[in-house]
A and B are shown apart, each in its own frame.
Chain A
Amino acid sequence: MPRLHHFPGGIKLQGHKSESLIQGLQQASLPRQLILPLKQHIGEHNKPLVDVGDRVLKGQMIAAASALICAPVHAPTSGVIAEIENFPVAHPSGQDDTCIVIDVDGKDEAADPVLPDLQQVDADGMIELICRAGIVGLGGAVFPTAPKLSRGKAHGIDTLIINGVECEPYITCDDILMRHCAAEVLRGTGYLQRILRPQRTVIAIEDNKPEAIAKMTAAFAQSGLLDTEIVAIPTIYPSGGEKQLIQILTGKEVPHGQLAFDIGLFCQNVGTCVAITRALEQDQPLISRVVTISGDNIRQPGNWEVRLGTPIRHLIELAEGYLHSDRAHLVMGGPMMGFSLAGDQVPIVKASNNILVMREETIPHSPGYHDECIRCSKCTEVCPASLLPQQLYWHARARAFDRVEEFHLFDCIECGCCSAVCPSAIPLVQYYRAAKSDIRAAQKAQIKSDHARIRFESRERRLLLKKQQEEERRRLKREALQKKKAGSTASTADPVQAALERVKARKQAAQEESP
């Protein structure tokens, strides 16, 4: 048992976890249609590989981007492609994005799996298989796993951290997964160890999940994993954040502007471990995930193994519908870091760990205004990233973007602790998110304008060169003409006169010849 450390700040939250744990892990039925957004990860957009009318089999790749992105989308069941159109997706903007719609045929037919001999596959081979399976980080950040592994392997990893912390209220999908699939989590950990060759591995679980810890410990005894330990960490939000978990387990802080593997650490979520196990052992790509459905407006909270693309409406029906009224507020993710959804037609994606169904009345009514900051500094006390939320707030509000960057806005993990403790109920994180998106937009515009400058300047240079060449050509022509003129004046005084004389002579000759 390593000595545990603390991260600064953090808050104790009401768990609300027991409600969704009563039912165990349930298998969700197939809906009539699956709606699969082309992009379910961080990075470049995928392009569809199928056409409308094509029949697809379970596990068939239906959208992919370039080889480097490694987050293709697969058909979660067999059926026919009905549409490739824009549909509302799980995004804070509530906007539509391109989706592939599959009419489910109910046969759930899959192609024969190609099972590699895993003893023979080396680390790069395993990364390749993970890439093809479309696995992304299932903790919520949805960063493609294969490129992360390649980079981690290149950096050299000292400690592998398996994240089973799950610190946000209401969410229990990782808890239930560890209870029901502990062996798969541990086998996935074993594959990660074979790829990354860490010196030690820590599986971290928050101490409010005693049953998960017990199941994992029991499975661990039979797993044969070396240099690995299961560590129960104290329950404090946001201990499941990558940087915070690293600080708890190692006492190290990830430096500003660097990533975990820059200091020899690598974090992976327990759900991702299970996805890796299934991809390698069963040739099953990422086509389903465990989703918690919870909140004060759902009749039967629980955890469901759901095929990706399942509309949230279908999941709500499985959970026996709304408890109070049909006017529910839907949130994807937890109450701290999640975002509101446009409606229940939105499909489950790789990032959907939790669907929070709240009564409209219990959501704090947001008229779009808030009270003024009273400079109590509570936000500073709870910030787990040791930032100055108040300074960030003033500068973000004044749109002084160079100042917010000086106060390390981009180190903010948007955990929401500052907003939660603010006595003026200032939606601080929303200010930070707005400032971040403004800064990113400005950076994008700067790249575009720099590009336009290069094109403008090269065009100016080209036009100038063309003009110079034209002038040079004219000058040479003029000179050649003058030279010729000079040459002809040397022989005869006037070329016109000479020509006339020649014609005259020819005429005379013709007259003499004719009788």
Chain B
Amino acid sequence: MIIAIVTISLMAGLFGLILGYAAIRFRVEGNPIVDQIDALLPQTQCGQCTFPGCRPYAEAIANGEAPINQCPPGGQATIVALAGLLDTEVLELNAEHGEHLEVPLVAIIDEQTCIGCTLCIQACPVDAILGSAKHMHTVIADECTGCKLCLPPCPVDCIDMLPIPQTIDDWKWTPPRALELHSPELTTDA
């Protein structure tokens, strides 16, 4: 009896030490689930989810403070990916936060109208606008995420959001469609 208790206690102590050591030695910095959620978000940094950027939204999701359907740029694909990661129900995109656009947008500054106020530069979350005070500004199109955050601060309304024109290189094949059993084509014939 005594031997059993002593053995169990010793083992418990030993395992406790190992676990304690492992907790220090293999300590995980930050919250890995936040990184995983953040990796699935489109990084538009638009703030339509009401959080100031994709990472804050990822943190809110990880803490259970926000649902997964508040990201319009990501659309349904992001919601499905998040639901898969977090093993939750797939939700519809919450229309309050905006609409998902199939064609991505890019900001373009009308350089004739721009007065060089630098307000858009300060608003751009990814430093995609180039310029300085009282000098013309321009958007580096490759860096622009299409978040529209530069639109409200512009005092002369010289920024437009244009759909990115499709080129031959990013053209996609359209999948065929199966004749569904309950499709209108069949039911109207019957």
Interface residues of A (CB under 8 A from B): 39, 89, 91-93, 95-97, 368-372, 396-397, 426-427, 430-431, 433-438, 441, 444-445, 448-453, 455-460
Contact = CB atoms under 8 A, between A and B. Distances in A.
Interface in B152-184: 166-168, 170-179, 181
Contact of B172 (A89, A431, A438): A438
Interface stretch (B17-25, B36-44, B90-98, B109-117): B36-44
B42 A434 contact: no
8 contacts: A92-B171, A95-B171, A397-B175, A434-B174, A444-B170, A452-B45, A456-B126, A459-B126
Interface residues of B, number: 30
Given A370-B178, A436-B173, 16 more contacts: A91-B168, A368-B177, A369-B177, A372-B178, A396-B175, A426-B178, A430-B173, A434-B172, A449-B44, A451-B143, A452-B143, A453-B43, A453-B55, A455-B126, A455-B143, A456-B126
Given A449-B42, A453-B43, A455-B126, A95 B175 contact: no
Contacts of B177: 368-370
A247 to B, nearest CB: 27
A120 B45 CA distance: 59
Nearest to A428: B176
Nearest to A396: B175
Contact of A445 (B42, B174, B181): B42
Contacts of B45: 452, 456
A110 to B, nearest CB: 31
Given A370-B179, A459-B126, A452 B172 contact: no
B162 to A, nearest CB: 17
Given A445-B42, A449-B42, A456-B54, A369 B178 contact: yes
B126 A397 contact: no
Interface string B77-98: 0000000000000000000000
B72 interface: no
A372 B175 contact: no
Q: Among the interface residues B54, B145, B185, which one has the most CB atoms of the partner chain A within 10 A? A: B145
Contact of B176 (A93, A431, A445): A431
Tell me the dominant secondary structure on chain B's binding face.
loop
A208 to B, nearest CB: 32
A368 B168 contact: no
A437 B38 CA distance: 24
A459 B181 CA distance: 53
Nearest to A39: B168
A452 B181 CA distance: 44
B173 A434 contact: yes
B127 interface: yes
Contacts of B181: 372
A504 B166 CA distance: 82
A449 B173 contact: no
A396 B166 CA distance: 23
**Across the A-B interface, the 7 shortest Cβ-Cβ residue pairs:** A434-B175, A449-B43, A452-B43, A93-B171, A437-B172, A369-B179, A455-B126
A460 B166 CA distance: 32
Contacts of B53: 456, 460
Nearest to B179: A369
Given A369-B178, A371-B179, A456-B45, A437 B173 contact: yes
Nearest to A371: B179
A369 B175 CA distance: 10
A430 B178 CA distance: 12
Contacts of B166: 95
B187 to A, nearest CB: 14
B152 to A, nearest CB: 19
Given A444-B170, A456-B53, A431 B179 contact: no
Contacts of A427: 176
Contacts of A370: 176-179
Given A430-B173, A449-B43, A452-B45, A459 B178 contact: no
Nearest to A455: B126
A449 B143 CA distance: 10
A427 B126 CA distance: 43
Contacts of A438: 172
A456 B58 CA distance: 14
Contact of A456 (B43, B170, B173, B179): B43
Contacts of A448: 43, 145
Contacts of B172: 434, 437-438, 441
Contact of A459 (B38, B127, B145, B176): B127
Nearest to A37: B168
Contacts of A97: 167-168
Given A444-B170, A445-B42, A449-B42, A456 B125 contact: yes
Nearest to A460: B53
B127 A455 contact: yes
A283 B44 CA distance: 51
A396 B45 CA distance: 31
A434 B174 CA distance: 6
A456 B181 CA distance: 48
Nearest to A457: B55
A183 to B, nearest CB: 38
B185 A95 contact: no
Contacts of B171: 91-93, 95, 437
B176 A95 contact: no
B71 to A, nearest CB: 12
Contacts of B38: 453
Nearest to A445: B42
Interface in B119-157: 125-128, 143, 145
A453 B34 CA distance: 14
